[in-house]
Amino acid sequence: MTTERIPQLKDFSAASLDAAFAALEAEARSEAAALATPGAVEAFRLEWLGRKQGRLNEISSLWLKSAPAEAKKLLGQRFNALKTAVEGLLDAALGAGPSNASLAAEAIDITLPGTRRLMGAEHPIIKTLNEIVGVFQALGYSVGVGPEVETDFYNFESMNFPPGHPARDTQDTLVIANQERRPLRDRLLLRTHTSPVQMRTMEQHAPPVRIVIPGKVHRNDAADATHSPIFHQVEGLCVDTNVTFSDLKGTLDHAMKALFGSAVKTRFFPSFFPFTEPSADVQISCIFCGGKGCRKCKHSGWIELLGCGMVDPAVFAFAAEKQPAYDSRKISGFAFGMGVERIAMMKYGVSEIGQFYSGEMKFLNQFA
């Protein structure tokens, strides 16, 4: 009884579909306009939207199923438009706002849990880095940064590692490929320390300077519990008239107390860095045993934490090429460099450096 209520479709072209659907919609409109009683409205609803015998249901089973694949999209769009139109007509005829059906389609289930946005937190390395920087900012230091892809000149030569010097072997790194045509000093590499930013800073600013430089550095080091080929450092540089080794000691002693607590003691051991003379390694009294001796400090009571020294006149000579005020007869300075991971591991009792890079929420959450 029903199929004749659905016109024959001669073809599935857009034009033919438009004509067929326009005719159906016009028919629905004229019927809807004539609805006078609640019974008529219900009959209209059944005729068009009835679940078993409604005309829309028939269109869907007769046309949509027989349509060639390429026409299905066109047909579907028109079908949906007709359905929306008929539902609108029914809503209007009911005079009671949107139908239950269209309300259901729009309904929001307010009992569903919302989309939870996790609160971010500073990574423990960044947190430690900021803490170190903050200690020096409080002393009046400014903060600088430099490039991670650095030239041989800034990373090595200007830091007094001459070409071919064996001190370079202690800081092997990745070099950028295909640079053989460039002079050695211009060749690019991943910086092995933040010290090159000392030179970049001095070239830009005449003394006095007091600056700390946090950043990422790279070494050809095998990863193990305490080494990672990528890690972070905070560099420091202070240049002025009459800066002495006592100033260096006082500054770093204060910084270590600020970072690890006022009970911590420091001591300075002779060491070597090409860019400082004299150079020292700074040790702090073991924060785990208070200096009595334990496994963590190898029963010495001391833990080595950073390198420092008085800026070598050879470094000032490179800076003086751009800023003549770096005349080592008139000014002096100290520098220091510390590993952020090492300090974070000490502060938080982390025994595997790799945990910092693991991305594991269980680990990271502890610092949030």
Site string (51-90) toward ligand DAH, x via CB under 6 A? ----------------------------------------
Burial of 259 (0-12, 13-18, 19+ CB in 10 A): buried
Pick from 337, 340, 341, 350: which binds ligand DAH (CB under 6 A)?
337
Query: Which range binds ligand DAH by CB under 6 A, 81-89, 141-149, 320-328, 331-339?
Result: 331-339
Quick one: which segment of 36-44, 115-123, 304-312, 340-348 binds ligand DAH (CB under 6 A)?
304-312
Q: Which of 87, 152, 235, 312 binds ligand DAH (CB under 6 A)?
A: 235
Instruction: Provide the residue count of the chain.
Output: 368
Segment near ligand DAH (CB under 6 A), from 35-43, 131-139, 147-155, 305-313? 305-313
Say if residue 361 is exposed, middle or buried (CB neighbours under 10 Å; 0-12, 13-18, 19+): exposed
Pairing of strands 332-339, 230-240: antiparallel
Q: Is 276 in the site for ligand DAH (CB under 6 A)?
A: yes
Contact 264, 300 (CB under 8 A): no
Residue with tokens 């785990």: 288
Shortest CA distance to 146 belongs to which of 213, 231, 208? 213
**CA atoms lying within 13 Å on the CB side of residue 240:** 12
Q: Is 309 in the site for ligand DAH (CB under 6 A)?
A: yes
* Shortest distance, position 182 Cβ to ligand DAH, whole Å: 24
CB 85 within 8 A of CB 55: no
Our finding on whether 155 is near ligand DAH (CB under 6 A) is: no
What does the per-residue mask of binding to ligand DAH show for 188-217, with x meaning CB under 6 A? -----x-x----------------------
Q: How far is the CB of 205 from ligand DAH (least distance, A)?
A: 17
CA gap 9, 17 in Å, rounded: 8
What is the number of the residue whose Cβ is closest to ligand DAH?
A: 337
For ligand DAH, the closer CB: 45 or 218: 218
- In 261-351, which ranges are E strands? 266-273, 276-285, 302-311, 332-339
Least separation in angstroms between CB 307 and ligand DAH: 3
Q: How far is CA 211 from the centre of its chain?
A: 25
Cα torsion 16, 22, 28, 29 to 10°: value is -170
Q: First CA to last CA across the chain, in angstroms? A: 71
Residue from 336, 340, 344, 350 touching ligand DAH (CB under 6 A): that is 336
C-alpha to C-alpha distance for 64 and 79, rounded to whole angstroms = 9
3-state SS assignment for residue 151: strand
Sequence-separated (6 or more) residues with CB below 8 Å from residue 320: 326, 327
One of 79, 154, 161, 273 touching ligand DAH (CB under 6 A): 273
* Residue 161 lies near ligand DAH (rule: CB under 6 A): no
The stretch among 48-56, 95-103, 125-133, 333-341 that binds ligand DAH (CB under 6 A) is 333-341
The number of residues that bind ligand DAH (CB under 6 A) is 11
Q: Which stretch binds ligand DAH (CB under 6 A): 132-140, 334-342, 346-354, 359-367?
A: 334-342
Binding site for ligand DAH (CB under 6 A): 193, 195, 235, 273, 276, 307-309, 335-337
